[in-house]
Amino acid sequence: MKCLEYPFDPNYILEKKKKIRRELLEVGGPFIDKKIAILGGSTTNDIRLILELFLLDQGIRPAFYESEYNRYYEDAMFPNPELEEFGPDVVYIHTTNRNITAYPAPGDDEKAVENLLLTEYEKFRKMWDRIFEVYRCPVIQNDFEMPYFRLLGNRDAVDPRGRVHFLSELNRKFFSYARDHENFHICDINYLSADFGLKDWADPFYYHMYKYALSLPAIPYLAQNVANIIKSLFGKNKKGLVLDLDNTLWGGVIGDDGVENIELGPEESTGQAYSEFQEYLKQLKTLGILLNIDSKNDPENALAGLRHPDSTLKEEDFIEIMANWEPKDQNFRKIARELNLLPESLVFIDDNPAERHIVREQIKGVRAPEIGGIQDYIRVIDRSGFFEVTALSGDDLKRSEMYAENAKRRAFEESFSDYREYLVSLKMKAVIGAFEPLYMARIAQLTNKSNQFNLTTKRYTQAEIEEAAKDPERVTLYGKLEDRFGDNGVVSVVIGHFSGGILKIELWLMSCRVLKRDMEFAMMDALASECLKRGIREIRGYYYPTPKNGMVRDFYAIMGFEKISGDDKGNTEWTFDLTKPYEKKNTVIETADR
């Protein structure tokens, strides 16, 4: 919803929250349902209400458990039948510097200060450890904003007895814990409060009047930030950018002004701003964000701009370049098809408000942020949180390279008239095995990101993936695929639960990067082999339709399953008889078991 897109009006959101919620539920979706526990060290009612709006806008329909005022510690540390029955998918701990038990006094020595610091940290560490032990779900924890006064002035930052120094050291301990625990995430209110303006964020009026530890106008910014972390955890991040050229990557219209007259580079202030934006995009690419071009331009002009000596971005930095005079929404759809991505996985960046409106209206779910001048581009994209990082795997870092390799595969395919001959020529090699620690983060990420080739669309946290791997009554398989053009990484996941000789498939998915490469047949062969080793004689498969996974409606039939049942919603159940001789289905991929 546009009113929730950065930059937004926080007062409008606060005043119209009921109306916004009603509209989101009426026109939004499809939703995934998640249970969020908010354990607050201050009043959290409006935080919960506004967080719900941002989650709904991301396609997540939340149910909430909310602790009583300042009962965060008791709810986490002591038996809590209500919270245990609730079974949270995420626990968000909303604490602030108002929850510090004791600050150093001017007369304290360094040893006394260190003891205070350790005591405060240990209180939180024990709480986080217990949440992981009891609820086995991701934890989001606020760090600490700076104090709204400095007793020692500027020395407050360097003297161990200063509150600024104390809070900074405590934050560092929080960050160290986060580095050592993959399912623990920091909500950086220290940065948020600085960005908002600490003086306004920490206005004491709201605490003394309502026991809010931040001002009401700051709540939407906090809620958006927490929602960005949650949607990233559950695979709702965007995957790439589709960018205009003229007055977006450089100043001026290259077809009119000529390449020598566009504004780009160090010679003038505007050119410097465009160069800074290009450098920012280049950094996004290193995180695996896919860069593409959708420009109303002659192709030679587009390439001339990218070959400008001051252009940080070059032709090879983009996966798809569509420079023509077709409507931009049509080109946008073509780019998504070429990438095998859903259009809503991509963000449209264009200086022209009319083009933004057309793309936003014609393609449901696509974000096209409102951006003013070049000075706003980085800030708006960054603050929107499209690409919030909660985990950064090796596959993430190589994503752009992998999609570029896919473009080479498509060009290579065109030289063949026989598709199987093309597949054989790719010289594909797969490694298929039971889940192992090295790939847990990537496997969890895939379960939350894959929508098209996903038969049940069940989502898993990393903790749940780790539990499945240890469960003796579960079969788990991951599949890696490489070929003559490069390594695709982990691209397929299967999870099944068995009892009484029957394996019931809980999850079967595959990355869109390797569609039509026969990896599904290699995974079926591995699954059948593993089942036979364990004495399993029947596999049950389930297909639950969503607006995005229609491409696998007939998957089980193709694999040789027989349909058992179906309902009027399209849900189907299938069976595969392993008492009959099994014939391998994969004929083009060389496989190795782990």
**What are residue 433's DSSP bridge partners?**
478
Domain coverage including residue 11: 2-233
CATH of the domain at 533: 3.40.630.30
Residuewise pLDDT in 10s, the chain (594 residues): 999 999 999 999 999 999 999 999 998 888 999 999 999 999 999 999 999 999 999 999 999 999 999 999 999 999 999 999 999 999 999 999 999 999 999 999 999 999 999 999 999 999 999 999 999 999 999 999 999 999 999 999 999 999 999 999 999 999 999 999 989 999 999 999 999 999 999 999 999 999 999 999 999 999 999 999 999 999 899 999 999 999 999 999 998 889 999 999 998 999 999 999 999 999 999 999 999 999 999 999 889 999 999 999 999 999 999 999 999 999 999 999 999 889 999 999 999 999 999 999 999 999 999 998 899 999 999 999 999 999 877 777 777 787 888 778 877 887 888 889 989 999 999 999 999 998 888 898 888 877 889 999 888 888 889 999 999 999 999 999 999 888 888 999 999 999 999 999 999 999 887 888 899 999 999 999 999 999 999 999 999 998 888 989 999 999 999 999 999 999 999 999 999 999 999 999 999 866
Query: In this structure, are 182 and 38 located in the same domain?
Result: yes
Residue 153 backbone class (left: φ over 0; alpha: ψ -120 to 50; beta: rest): left
Helix (H, G, I), strand (E, B) or coil at 528: helix
Domain match, 92 and 183 both: yes
Is 461 within a domain?
yes
Tell me whether residue 262 is in a domain.
Answer: yes
* Amino acid code (one letter) for 548: K
Q: Are residues 346 and 493 in the same domain?
A: no
Would 389 be classed as within a structural domain? no
Q: Taking the alpha carbons of 407, 412, 418, 424 in that order, is the dihedral positive or negative? A: negative
| Residues 223 and 254 occupy one common structural domain | no
Are residues 264 and 182 both part of a single domain? no
Task: Please say which residue of 187, 210, 233 terminates a domain.
Answer: 233
Strand 486-499 and strand 474-483: pairing?
A: antiparallel
Same domain, 357 and 281: yes
The DSSP letter of residue 297 is S
CATH classification of the domain holding 278? 3.40.50.1000
- Domain's final residue, options 351, 384, 417: 384
Which CATH number covers residue 138? 3.40.50.1110
CA distance 292 to 243: 6
Q: Which segments of 214-327 does DSSP mark as H helices, in order? A: 219-233, 254-257, 269-286, 299-306
Indicate whether 511 belongs to any domain: yes
* 512 shares its domain with 554: yes
**How many domains in the chain?**
3
240 phi, psi to nearest 5 deg = -170, 175
Judge contact between 346 and 240, C-beta under 8 A.
yes
- Residues 431 and 521 placed together within one structural domain of the fold: yes
In this structure, the answer to whether residues 252 and 271 fall within a common structural domain is yes
